[in-house]
Structure 1
Amino acid sequence: MRSQSNSRLLKCVLRSDSVFRLKLAIGLLSLCFTWTIIGAAHAAQFSSIVIDATTGRTLHQYRASQQRYPASLAKMMTLYMMLEEIEQGRMKPDTKIRVSHKAAKQPPSKLGLRYRSSIDARDAMHALIVKSANDVAYAVAEHIAGSEAKFARRMTGKARQLGLYDTHFTNASGLYHWRQQTTARDMARLAALLLERFPHFVTVWRLREFDYDGKTYISHNRLLNRLYGAMGMKTGYIRASGYNLATAVQRNGRRVIVVVLGSDSPQSRDRHVAALAERSLPRAKAIAEATLSAAQRKRAAAWLNRPASALTAKSGQTDSTQSWKIQVGAFAASNHALSQLQRVRRVLGTHLEMAEESTEPIEKNGKRIYRARFANLSEPQAFELCDKLRDVTPNCLPIGP
């Protein structure tokens, strides 16, 4: 009797063990299949395109017409709508943009605007380009259209007018919504139109930093300091989109628009954009620079908060004036900054003959830091010198006016 009971128990154990192994095998196969599908879907998200800004000819494309999430590249259309308001005289640099409860509650990236506060339109423009602030995008949408939903419908309508037939907007910031989609081709076209139709605002896309409410915000676009001729435009990221970037690059009278959507990291995105620009610029046609009127320069200068004389008469023109700097390090002690300047001067020799060295103190997180810089350089000189210093100080940064 006892042996029969033990036999039944052994069979149950064996049967349970087999069932467990079968379930485990099925579970592992399902997991592998899911990982494969996710990996394939993620790989399929990547798109890129390069167009010649002069002719509109496509110089490179990879899945450029496939649907993607724009992320903060949607703010290029928000800025397009804002620039139209400026051109039509409905928005001035000191126009107050009110902050609603919904605007203040927007998720990061944001300035942290408070409910019932306001922000000048000039600061709002800079915050959209440099900080990619979602609370500012929402406030701008409400200011122009009364609500973000109405503004998004206007954005989509404007996209149709501009020939962007594969783009649909549902908000002003680029935050995730399943219906908000675009293509690399449409984003390249939008970037080209922003530069073509508002040539006097080309300089605003190159903003590397701006000050607001006692804080200095640094641009997310690292290529401004790493790729000679980069003209800024817009970066973007949400989990569903990956890392996006739309930029113009101009050298020797040639301009290309480069768009990369869905990169795995900001580093791989920047490397890919730089490689595409280097490969495509020699094949681009010479661009006919738009000559800016005195009125256009005056209007743009007001939005940049600088004198009109500081802007070149040619839109997008490479800055050949000696208004650029390079930073070769930042140190806790001024004598260390001076030592770095002397070291760099020894390495570069006559290349720095006309450059002026300085140690500029700043307060950061309650501590004083000394920035080692060389001034009195042109834009080409700044990028060339940083390239020569790559082995000496990989953190060399060209700094524009």
Structure 2
Amino acid sequence: MFLPRQTKRGSILSILRLFGAALAVLALTSVVFSPNALAKPVAASIVVDAETGEVLSRSNADAVTYPASLTKMMTLYLLFDALDAGTIKLSDRITFSKNAASEPATNMNVQAGDTISVETAILAMVVRSANDVSTAVGERLGGTESAFARMMTAKARQLGMSNTTYRNANGLPNPGQMTTARDQATLGIALLRDHPKYYGYFGRNSFVYRGNTYGGHNRVMKKFAGADGIKTGYIRAAGFNLVSSAERNGRRLVGVVLGGTSAPIRDKQMVALLTDGFKTRQGIGDVLVAKAPGSAAPVKQAPMVAANDDGAPAGGQDTGAQDDGDMDAVVASTLVPTPKPATRQEDSIGTTIATMASVSLAPAVAKPDTQDVATVWSPENQFGIQVGAYSKFKPAQKAAERATKAVPTLLSDARIVIDRGNSNIYRARVFGLSKTDADAACKKLKAKQTDCLVVKSDSTIAQSVQ
């Protein structure tokens, strides 16, 4: 049966209208809810004199963000605690559970039931940033990874890391896992102070496992004279993170850079911060509170394995490190480890180690052109907006994310900063805007019944301007 011509045409036009409307809704949805509409990770930094605790420079040091693989620093701290307590030995074997073996890259590509020595596990976490190894270590020390995460958080509080919470042993994305640049500096100093005989592991740039040589991610050790550790990290929500320690003329600094836009830019930021730090003798009046006894200076010994995990001589195929889980790994294969002179001896448990006569320093490099060092607070982008203040972190984070989605044309290239400062209130803020864009964003948000306040920042803290 044929429909009248007018009815057919009307039906077709109706269908086309509906289809066009659906496309418009889909397009609007893709703009508003696209991941690209989310603001960039918070950018933060701090440089501290490791001996005195004086803060030499800081920017957003108390803004809450995600630690990414810097989480492994705490996993290692607790493993070193266990080694000192004698509850585990470097020669002991750690077994991979099904849960640990299933962790995504970066990993060691193991199977459930495989084992790894404690010493190789340390190197896998430091050099490879292996997520599966971190989980296996956490399960060994805590029984379950969740129980170990509670141990990690408890230790963080003991050390004075008041704004850090752990949910896993490796740093893979978890909305409840958070930290600040100040807390990461506290942890870096705690590792130097409380576990100096293990600090040398952080200076390793390669290790061998099952005949394969794995390269590391920490290029600052090759770019800055005196740098000898500590750890890199990356997840999309956090950006490129780095904790570095360097010693010159008997003076040791610890620097933290969080939220770098790329690994090279993050590294340049660190080099610039440490360069300025060593030129500075006087702090800014802020002292890092690290709650544990001991000295900040590490001993000049670096434990190093001379054989791989299954007893074969060091060597084998270089695997590189190109994994999706940690973008630092993309350039890891460009690192060519430089052997350091050492004399070998056997320790009490029969593990071969190399005891270095002294810490060799990388060649000095010129300070990078300041125009090449990305800064969050450029002169024209000193403003931001505040869209609420909350008693907990998650509601503040969600409020800032809703704002960036609601005004994507103005806020998609800004950065979320959940600023706690010295209070117990989490302020939901988005920074990196011009005054004009901040005013326009607040106007649009207020039209959507969202409270909004324009704020201005200096190098350390955001200040309200209205």
TM-score (norm 1): 0.68
2 CA distance for matches of 1:379 and 1:139?
A: 33
2 CA distance for matches of 1:237 and 1:227?
A: 21
Match of 2:58 among 58, 61, 71: 61
1 CA distance for matches of 2:298 and 2:117?
A: 29
1:41 equivalent to 2:72? Answer no
Distance 1:151 1:383, change over 3 A: same
1:278 equivalent to 2:275? Answer yes
1:260 is matched by which residue type in structure 2? V
Q: Secondary structure at the match of 1:233?
A: strand
2 CA distance for matches of 1:285 and 1:200?
A: 29
1:379 equivalent to 2:377? Answer no
1:219 equivalent to 2:208? Answer no
Q: Is the 8 A contact 1:142 1:151 kept in 2?
A: yes
Aligned equivalent of 2:461:
none
Aligned equivalent of 2:304:
304
1 CA distance for matches of 2:340 and 2:141?
A: 41
Aligned equivalent of 2:116:
119
Distance 1:266 1:17, change over 3 A: same
Q: Is the 8 A contact 1:52 1:284 kept in 2?
A: no
Which consecutive residues of structure 2, in runs of 5 or more, have no partner in the other structure? Answer: 284-294, 307-314, 320-335, 342-357, 367-466
2:154 is matched by which residue type in structure 1? G
Distance 1:374 1:175, change over 3 A: closer
Q: CA deviation at 1:127?
A: 0.6
Q: CA deviation at 1:304?
A: 2.5
Q: CA deviation at 1:46?
A: 1.3
Q: CA deviation at 1:99?
A: 1.3
2 CA distance for matches of 1:55 and 1:39?
A: 42
Q: CA deviation at 1:202?
A: 2.4
Q: Is the 8 A contact 2:212 2:317 kept in 1?
A: no
Higher relative contact order (CA 8 A, sep 6+): 2
Q: Is the 8 A contact 2:213 2:317 kept in 1?
A: no
Distance 1:34 1:145, change over 3 A: closer
1:205 equivalent to 2:185? Answer no
Q: CA deviation at 1:219?
A: 0.8
2 CA distance for matches of 1:285 and 1:49?
A: 15
Q: CA deviation at 1:378?
A: 8.5
Q: Is the 8 A contact 1:64 1:185 kept in 2?
A: yes
Size of the aligned set, in residue pairs, is 312
Q: Is the 8 A contact 2:199 2:298 kept in 1?
A: no
Q: Is the 8 A contact 2:127 2:216 kept in 1?
A: yes
2 CA distance for matches of 1:283 and 1:247?
A: 17
RMSD: 3.5
Distance 1:280 1:154, change over 3 A: same
1 CA distance for matches of 2:48 and 2:339?
A: 35
Match of 1:136 among 118, 129, 133: 133
Q: CA deviation at 1:256?
A: 1.3
Q: Is the 8 A contact 2:214 2:318 kept in 1?
A: no
Q: Cα deviation per residue 1:115-155 (whole Å; 9 max; x = unaligned)?
A: 11211101001111000111111111111111111101100
TM-score (norm 2): 0.59
Distance 1:81 1:284, change over 3 A: farther
- Pairing 1:2-401 to 2, within 5 Å after superposition: 41-42=39-40, 45-284=42-281, 290=297, 303-305=303-305, 379-380=360-361, 383-384=363-364
Q: Cα deviation per residue 1:262-300 (whole Å; 9 max; x = unaligned)?
A: 1111111111111111111121479x87585xxxx8xx7
Q: CA deviation at 1:242?
A: 1.1
Distance 1:58 1:142, change over 3 A: same
Which stretches of structure 1, 4 residues or longer, exceed 4 Å deviation after superposition?
Answer: 15-35, 37-40, 288-292, 362-366, 373-378
Identical-residue share of aligned pairs (%)? 36
